[in-house]
Amino acid sequence: MAKGGLGRDDPIEERAPEIVRLLSDVYPDAKVALRFTNPLEMLVATILSAQCTDEKVNQVTATLFSKYRTAEDYLRMPEDELKRDVKPTGFFNQKATSIREACRRIVEVYEGEVPDTMEDLVTLRGVARKTANIVLGNAYGKVEGVAVDTHVKRLANRLGFSEQRDPDKIERDLMRLIPKERWFDFTYVLIDHGRAICESRRPRCGECVVNHLCPSSQV
């Protein structure tokens, strides 16, 4: 008999609360790994984190944030200089353009301040719901959804929380199954578990606390 009487073949509506509980117990201090001190830094760091490790982003922003302190600073500096500054994070042409255009709108429309609503954030270049959720939750303490990054997407599919591939659809499934008061912190629980155990190529199912509840478990 599976722990708690539940097994991987039970409906996800029944398994989800136990999965949330067990994983949260393993990662009680889960939080965003990106370093920031204000909403603009959170926004820029999150844009840079696409297809890049948080560790590398933090190395880059340690210098970047002392050079670019305001949205206006990102516009005053030549774009080629910004590209050089963010090059180690990869896809630097696209990222530099996104940062500059996001800052342009922040200056022109929002008086130099990063907006604090989902509706406004997603109007910025390079910002979809994932980035907006990260900025809102970490910089403003506002929770409007679940940030679906590559780890969250992978675990949502493997655990059976969602069969979707589109991040917005996965987010809706997660919001349905996870209590609203857990949306923010459980995002980082999933991310930490994805990094530590449920890796992309070789998930360590034998070490996973929820392997008995996971339909993708290899044990």
Question: Between the CA atoms of 71, 75, 80 and 83, what dihedral angle is there, to the nearest 10 degrees?
Answer: 20
* Active site residue ranges: 130, 149
Measure the N-to-C terminal CA separation of the chain; round to a whole number of Å. Answer: 15
CA distance linking residue 198 with residue 36, whole number of Å = 27
Amino acid type, 17: P
| Nearest-angstrom CA–CA distance, 191 and 119 | 25
**In the structure encoding, which two tokens stand for residue 113, read together?**
């301040």
Residue given tokens 């999933």 in the structure block: 190
Torsions phi, psi of 201, nearest 5? -90, -40
Rounded Cα–Cα distance for residues 84 and 138 (Å): 27
CA 190 to chain centroid? 10
Burial 118-140 (b: 16+ CB within 10 A, else e): bebbeebebbebbbbbbbbbbbe
